[in-house]
Amino acid sequence: MTAAKRRAAPPWLRVLKERAAHAAGVVLPPVLMLGLLGVAWQVLCSSPDSALPTPTRVLADTHELITQPFYDNGGIDKGLFWHLLASLKRVALGYLLAAGAGVALGVLVGSSKWAMRALDPLFQVLRTIPPLAWLPLSLAAFRDGQPSAIFVIFITAIWPIVINTAVGVRNIPQDYRNVARVLRLNGGEFFTTIMLPAAAPYIFTGLRIGIGLSWLAIVAAEMLIGGVGIGFFIWDAWNSSLISDIILALAYVGIVGFFLDRLVAFAGKLIGRGTVSV
Amino acid sequence: MNEYLKIEHICKTFGTGESRSEVLRDISLDVARGEYLAIIGHSGCGKSTLLNIVAGLTAASSGYVFLDGREVHAPGPDRAVVFQNHSLLPWLTVYDNVRLAVDKVFGGRKTAAERHEWTLRNLELTHMTHAMKKRPGEISGGMKQRVGIARALAMSPKVLLLDEPFGALDALTRAHLQEEVMKIHAELGNTVLMITHDVDEAVLLSDRIVMMTNGPAAQIGEIHTVRLPRPRNRLELLADPHYIAARAAVLEFLHRKSRYVEAA
């Protein structure tokens, strides 16, 4: 009895152990997988005539880029932070425009049968056009790289936002509409108290797809328009045969894309007041 | 009789041509101020359609609805509806669901403090103050229906429309809420129009029971006046000859005179 008592851990230790076990269960698998892939990569690219560098080689080559993300030698010779910031600025502008216009159009298409009939076929065709196909046209229209890139982001992100918002608005339960009618809510009140919250889960699905597509499109667009930006950084690195720089930039692009997605999901949770599941 | 709510020659047909179906045929009904009227009938007989027409949510094909001397066409807070599935807005708290109605109906007439007081008063009436910070998703079905009732009462409606308000609840919760509604009706003297398919509920709660024939083209079959004094006690009534007679009359109508069309 006494021996058993002595062996039983205090409760806080048990909780700590459980937490640690849980954390290990979540963190260990991806870390192990990453390690495994790293080793495989190392082995596969170790031969002297390998076209791609090994991970250790990448780290050695990009050491300076990693440790000094903020340097600025003028022109496009800047640290990766500045390149990413320039890309993020373009995405932010194009995406916010797309979010505003997309939700507005989606509400229109979702609430009016005629707007839906007139616009939906158009949207269904336009949304299949690849982002980069818009670039030459927008360059012709704007005669400048910066607004053209922003337009490409806008036109890429807007379709999922429009379509999801429209579906969300169309799916507002009749019950809520009845409540609004009994209370005689006017258009504005209906929009803010019923339509937006009821359609929020759909709208945020569209917004999340939109931010993902924007980030996909910006890299490609920047490769063509040049200037400061992570896309052109990659293209420039390729032209200078700095393969390790490309790999580092890709890792950064992936991580930033991941955080952008999380950011929109978080905003949805905050604004959706419990109706948006993440 | 003092006709407060007057339903005159209401007909309703849905669809046109081949798919045309007549749901209600020539329904006329007078409800006095303060009266509790139950409408009972088999499922699909169009009783909910009738309620929706009174609420203004559905347009009648012909006929008129007058409330307090004025014809009604559109929905409005003077005919507050308690929906069968509560229809609370899930993104608002219990308090905010009721407050939304209060703000909309009394926005111009009461100060914010008065509206707050009035919201609390109606939540107290339905015993929901304890959960007013919760969202509808966090409370039970019976509580949701209480909030639905609080929201409807908070509009100070001329007539309260209850669309099978307790249909989705378990028997015990239902009995409990019926008691609450009786208390509220005794205290406030509301005019109530209630749709139900529960015979006991109809007899227990109402002053008159309107029995509808089966659709298509449902009509008013019989109207039974429940001559039971208030306040009514569920258990004491069980042996009351008036109660038994009223129950028998409604059951008789539903099962003999108005059998299911399919079963006939």
Per-residue pLDDT tens for A138-165?
A: 999 999 999 999 999 999 999 999 999 9
Answer whether residue A6 shows pLDDT above 70. Answer: no
Structure confidence at residue A278 as a pLDDT band (50, 70, 90):
very low
pLDDT value at position A118?
96
Q: Residue A177: its chain B contacts at CB < 8 A?
A: none
Q: Does A182 touch chain B (CB under 8 A)?
A: yes
Low-confidence ranges of chain B (pLDDT < 70): 1-2, 258-264
CA distance A180 to A182: 6
Per-residue pLDDT tens for B188-233?
A: 899 999 999 899 999 999 999 999 988 788 888 889 999 888 889 8
The residue-averaged pLDDT of A201-213 equals 95
pLDDT value at position A277?
55
Per-residue pLDDT tens for A31-59?
A: 999 999 999 999 999 988 888 999 999 99
pLDDT value at position A7?
62
pLDDT value at position A233?
94
pLDDT value at position B258?
65
Structure confidence at residue A274 as a pLDDT band (50, 70, 90):
low
Cβ separation of A179 and B91 shorter than 8 Å? no
pLDDT value at position A273?
65
B55 Cβ contact partners less than 8 Å away, ≥ 6 residues apart = A182, B75, B79, B81, B161
Q: Does A187 touch chain B (CB under 8 A)?
A: no
Q: Residue A274: its chain B contacts at CB < 8 A?
A: 90-91, 135, 137
Q: Which of A182, A189, A275 sits opposite B80 (nearest CB)?
A: A182
Please state, in angstroms and as integers, the Cα–Cα distance from residue B130 to each residue in B22, B85, B147, following that order.
Answer: 46, 22, 12
pLDDT value at position B261?
47
DSSP run (H or E) holding B163: strand B159-163
Q: Which of B57, B85, B105 sits opposite A181 (nearest CB)?
A: B57
CA distance B89 to B135: 9
Q: Identify which has the larger pLDDT, A14 or A5.
A: A14
pLDDT value at position B259?
54
Per-residue pLDDT tens for A215-232?
A: 999 999 999 998 899 999
Answer whether residue A3 shows pLDDT above 80. Answer: no
Q: Which of B56, B57, B135 sits opposite A274 (nearest CB)?
A: B135
The residue-averaged pLDDT of A156-181 equals 95
Answer whether residue A5 shows pLDDT above 70. Answer: no
Amino acid in the structure at residue A45: C
- On average, the pLDDT of chain A sits at 91
Whether the Cβ atoms of residue A210 and residue A199 lie closer than 8 Å to each other: no
In a mutagenesis test of the A interface, which of B79, B85, B98, B100 is the best target, namely the one with the most A β-carbons within 10 Å? B100
Where is average pLDDT lowest: A12-26, A245-259, B142-156?
A12-26
Identify the CA nearest to B134 among candidates B96, B85, B104, B177: B96
Cβ separation of A274 and B90 shorter than 8 Å? yes
Q: Which of B87, B91, B135 sits opposite A175 (nearest CB)?
A: B87
Q: Which residue of A lies nearest to B55 if distances are taken between CA atoms?
A: A182
pLDDT value at position B263?
40
pLDDT value at position B68?
92
ipTM of the complex: 0.88
CB atoms within 10 A of CB A38: 13
Cβ separation of B80 and A189 shorter than 8 Å? no
Q: Which of A182, A189, A198 sits opposite B75 (nearest CB)?
A: A182
**B153/chain A closest Cα distance in angstroms:** 12
Q: Residue A198: its chain B contacts at CB < 8 A?
A: 91
